[in-house]
Amino acid sequence: MTDPNKGNDLISDARDEIVGMGKQGMAHPSTKPVLTGAAIGAVAGAVLPVVSWPIGLLAGAGFMLYKRLRP
């Protein structure tokens, strides 16, 4: 069980961040870095023979979101 005083729940932090990005759009401080990570991941996925661009897009966006939550 997670201690509510710690505040280390990655899933709830990610959900709050995604909801904030959805409500505030480009004004949210995490939107631009996450979109940049998604674009870089999509390009990397298109270049690599094993990975397709949608997988790269999701991986890039997920990585940047993680880095925003846990620097």
Q: Which residue, among 31, 32, 3, 33, has the nearest Cα to 17 in the 3D structure?
A: 31
Q: Which residue, among 42, 48, 50, has the nearest Cα to 64 in the 3D structure?
A: 42
| pLDDT for 68 | 92
| pLDDT for 49 | 85
Query: pLDDT tens digits for 32-57?
Result: 999 999 999 999 999 988 889 999 99
Orientation angle between helical segments 53-69 and 10-24, nearest 10 degrees: 110
Query: Residue 7 above 80 pLDDT?
Result: no
Please give the C-alpha separations between residue 22 and each of 2, 18, 28, 37, 49, in angstroms, as whole numbers: 27, 6, 9, 17, 32
Domain ranges of the chain: 28-71
